[in-house]
Amino acid sequence: MDLAALSRQAVETVARWEAGWPEVAPDVSVAAEPERVAAVLEELGRRLQNNYPYFHPSYAGQMLTPPHPAAAAAYLMAMLINPNNHAEDGGPATAILERESVAAVAAMFHLPAESLGHLTSSGTIANLEALFVARELRPGAAVAYGEEAHYTHARMCHLLGIRGVAVPADSCGRMDLDALERLLRTDPSIGTVVLTAGTTALGAVDPIDAALPLRDRYGVRLHVDAAYGGFHAIPAWSGSSDVPAAPLRAIAECDSVVVDPHKHGLQPYGCGCVLFRDPSVRRFYAHDSPYTYFTAADLHLGEISLECSRAGAAAAALWTTFQLFPLTADGLGAVLAACRRAARRFAGLVAGSPHLRLYQEPELDIVAYFPWTAGSSAGDVDRASQRLFDEAMSADDPVYLSVARVTPEAFTLRNPDIPAGASIRVLRSVFMKPEHEAHAPLIHERLTLLLD
């Protein structure tokens, strides 16, 4: 799609709305010479070239991808008006768009229609809100999370004054439920367990379905950090792709869930989302403002959120995207299925390579692997991974990868034939663009040439 044309349409649409109001004299306090503006923007464009090409299928490094052009245009359109979704009078139109979009996300997870939710500026803030509610529901209780879960949970526990407990991972990077049960049996202070649907290092999906009986047995709450993998609930429910369906479907039975539309949802930063199964938790957000909440009788979005000012443009972009790519198998699900096929294709090529070795089979669309030859030690793997990363990133025709550091125990668990080392780096490729499906063999070919 032509982003320039869409952007022009967005600007013209807002201009027509503005033209319906009486003309006012220009405010000289914010006036700027057109030539100076053009020069500054030209300089900004030059500086922005100091970026990696996140839009290109050769970029398979971090969890970075550009928004869909329609989402960018919608964000621009709303941004020109600059609504604030904290209160109805700050963004009456975009508040409605946010409620509709959040309801669509709740339906994607098969949560009850009355679930409480809202957008946030990031998955980090969304997880903070989920742990805040966990603390308010279980004062003094500890929170357990997987040792390969995102580092935000330990940080947010510290911020909230909650004791956090890391649960060991199994041989696939998922939370070890046997270890979790031992913890729950011996530590009755655990009030909430954080499960991950798509770890940020490996894309591993915790066995959420198998954790449900533990919740019933020990009376804990279950929160799911699905910031990365949450949208894979679409193929999990539709059967349109070979993702871990049972764990992803089990999110419907959990107490809260977080998802990041600015990852697989084709959105610009920042757009996170938090959902609570029990709408009564809104009581923990209760607060008052002497000048804010007077436009509508219903709860404003700011009255069910820890954040105050939030960009209404994020809601406009998400709503627009959902109209074009509904949360169905043939909508956004088709994009996710292509990403999953790309990861499987690349993993198959790595598995058949004499110079590369899979760290583990991918569950979603993140592939971890490393350079390897017979007789290599873990130290050799560590050095070879960093060397290939450096060479791939700086090549004339670069391939953009990322590096993941794994523990000696985790590495040996997956590679018992390789002598252990103190610290091991492996390579990691994130195939979260549908274009990766066709490009994955080219990435493998170029890495092979570098190794040769």
Tens digits of per-residue pLDDT, 315-372?
Answer: 999 999 999 999 999 999 999 999 999 999 999 999 999 999 999 999 999 999 999 9
276 and 392 housed in the same domain: no
In a domain, 68, yes or no: no
Q: Given this model, what pLDDT does residue 398 score?
A: 95
Q: 436 and 320 share a domain?
A: no
Q: State the DSSP code for 400.
A: B
CATH number assigned to the domain comprising residue 373 = 3.90.1150.170
| Element holding 446 (H helix, E strand) | helix 436-451
User: What is the model's pTM?
Assistant: 0.95
Q: Provide the 3-class DSSP secondary structure of residue 15.
A: helix
Q: Note the pLDDT tens digit of each residue in 269-324.
A: 989 999 999 999 999 998 877 777 777 777 788 888 999 999 999 999 999 999 99
Q: In terms of domains, do 282 and 338 share one?
A: no
- Beta strand extents in 297-397 (DSSP E only): 356-360, 366-371
Q: Last residue of a domain, which of 324, 342, 375?
A: 324
Q: Do 302 and 345 share a domain, yes or no?
A: no
How would DSSP label each residue in 185-233?
HH-TTEEEEEEEBS-TTT--B--HHHHHHHHHHHT-EEEEE-TTTGGGH
Spatial contact of 321 and 119, defined as CB atoms under 8 Å apart: no
Asked whether residue 4 is assigned to any structural domain, the reply reads no
pLDDT given at position 238: 96
87: tokens are: 């209160």
Does the pLDDT at position 167 exceed 80? yes
How is residue 420 annotated by DSSP?
A: -
> Does one domain contain both 349 and 392?
yes
| 433: in domain | yes
For 134-151, what is each residue's pLDDT tens digit? 999 999 999 999 999 999
Q: Which domain holds residue 136?
A: 78-286+294-324
Nearest Cα neighbor of 308 from 276, 285, 281 is 285
Residues 345 and 357: beta-carbon distance below 8 Å: no
Question: Residues 114, 258: one domain?
Answer: yes
Q: Does one domain contain both 306 and 353?
A: no
Q: Residue 270 carries which side chain, given as an amino acid letter?
A: G
* 362 is a domain residue: yes
Q: What are phi and psi of 258, to 5 degrees?
A: -120, 140
Asked whether residue 369 is domain-assigned, the answer is: yes
Whether the per-residue pLDDT at 378 is higher than 70: the answer is yes
CATH of the domain at 106: 3.40.640.10
- Residues 165 and 218 grouped into a single domain: yes
First to last CA, the chain: 39
User: How many domains is the chain built from?
Assistant: 2
Same domain, 242 and 362: no
Residue 253: pLDDT over 80: yes
Q: Residues 212, 154: one domain?
A: yes
pLDDT at 430 over 90: yes
Q: Do 388 and 310 fall into the same domain?
A: no
- Tokens 């791939």 map to which residue? 392
202 found inside a domain: yes
In a domain, 430, yes or no: yes
